[in-house]
Amino acid sequence: MPDLTRFAFIGGIYSNYWALRATLDDIDRRGVDLTHFLGDLGAFGPHPDRVPELLIERGIRGIQGNYEESLSTRATDCHCGYTDPRDNHYAQISYDYTFGKTSDRLKDWMGTLPGTIRLTAGDRRILLVHGSPRKINEFLWRSTSPAPFLEKLCDDYQTDVIICTHTGLHWHKPLSRNRHVINAGVIGRPANDGGRNVWYTLVEIEGSRVNVEFVPVIYEHEKLAGEMRAEHLPEEFIETVMTGWWTTCLEVLPPKERMAGRF
């Protein structure tokens, strides 16, 4: 009988240490074997040192997102991958704030994180990436990531399971031969669905069987919003925390995902 392994994957955290605490508490209650973060620890939220400090204190491993790559190389922007001027305007406000408030010690620590991690469980090979296996800031949306394209990524990168984040929206696509692509979502901000909760992902593997569960996390979002206001972060960001609807970085959304949101 093959052993069962339970993984927890935490997508973009965006400085939301209130949600990170609630997520880690939830993971503790569920008897998870291994927890990983998938990058983009900063952006959007307040006090960007608090998330990395908490991850280091708890001994949680993970990979770089475009934020960690940019901060550790002292780049002038987040390389989020947006093309629209309004998207870029708000992305720059986030990045400038996060850059200014992240200590040099933690920026250097971010530079030591790997870009990808490979794991195995049962007979499955697992690849953790931030955006996609081929690019740290590539957006893998559900409605623009068809099966033939994802099958090719699994072939090219010799893996059975790809775990990614970066888009902010969670989804799972089962492929041929028990292969899977899973976007773990983010705990940094809600999933543009009018709910104030955020999402992390549990993956259970036994032999070649892969079971995926998206877990909603309720956290003290009003405290987060209060701190964002005290830090003079844009009112648009606070509105997202308080309502569950995205107000910025919308132009990058494909039509299906855009249609589902309020703005």
Binding site for another protein (CB under 8 A): 83, 85, 134, 141-146, 148-149, 151-153, 155, 250-251, 254-259, 263
CB of 211 to another protein, least distance (A): 21
What are the counts of helices (DSSP H) followed by strands (DSSP E) for the chain? Answer: 9, 10
CB of 89 to another protein, least distance (A): 9
Chain centroid to Cα 121, Å, comes to: 22
CB of 87 to another protein, least distance (A): 12
Cα distances from 213 to residues 169, 193, 210, 261, in angstroms, run 14, 18, 10, 23
CB of 229 to another protein, least distance (A): 26
The residues near 28 (Cβ < 8 Å, ≥ 6 apart) are none
Per the CB < 8 A criterion, the answer to whether 5 and 34 are in contact is yes
Which of 46/131 has CB closer to another protein? 131
Name the DSSP letter for residue 127.
E
Which of 59/148 has CB closer to another protein? 148
Three-state SS letters, 186-248: CCCCCCCCCCCCEEEEEEEEECCEEEEEEEEECCCHHHHHHHHHHCCCCHHHHHHHHHCCCCC
Which of 105/177 has CB closer to another protein? 177
CB of 56 to another protein, least distance (A): 33
CA distance 78 to 99: 9
Which of 25/251 has CB closer to another protein? 251
Which of 74/256 has CB closer to another protein? 256
